[in-house]
Amino acid sequence: MKRLALLITLLSSPASAQFYSYDDFDRQPPAVKYFYVAGEVDMFLAVQASGAKRLDVGECIRDAKISIKEITENMQAYARTHPELQNGSVATPLLGYLADLCPASNGIK
């Protein structure tokens, strides 16, 4: 049933990229939030792979065995305790949460 709801959400969403402010992101249904955070994490990993900037989160996320759903929910909890991070993009509180999750990562903030 959850997969059907997810499929319906995906099919009813526009195919173009959408950039959300944190406030806009916070108003989205859970499935949209999960996909959005997955895209942000993919972007961080692509930056890491390009060598342009060091964002060593891939191994940390893998070793923590944490799902995108958990990352999303934990990032939102992190943002609630750091309201100053809610003024910009979703990447700001996500990077803050990942820095706490992965303290051994170099240059994440």
Looking at residue 16, its pLDDT comes to 47
Task: Give CA–CA dist 1/50, Å, rounded.
Answer: 38
Q: Which long-range contacts (CB under 8 A, 24 or more apart) does 86-90 make?
A: 86/22, 86/23, 86/26, 87/22, 88/21, 88/22, 89/19, 89/20, 89/21, 89/22, 90/20, 90/21, 90/22, 90/25, 90/36, 90/37, 90/40
Most confident of 1-10, 21-30, 50-59: 21-30
Looking at residue 64, its pLDDT comes to 85
Enumerate the domain spans of the chain. Answer: 20-101
Task: Give CA–CA dist 62/86, Å, rounded.
Answer: 26
pTM of the entire predicted model: 0.74
Which residue from 109, 24, 23, 38 is spatially nearest to 70, judged by alpha carbons?
A: 38
The single-letter DSSP state of residue 84 is G
17-45 average pLDDT score: 88
Q: Residue 1 above 70 pLDDT?
A: no
- Predicted confidence (pLDDT) per residue in 89-109, tens digit: 999 999 899 989 887 665 555
Looking at residue 102, its pLDDT comes to 83
- Predicted confidence (pLDDT) per residue in 37-61, tens digit: 999 988 877 776 666 555 567 778 8
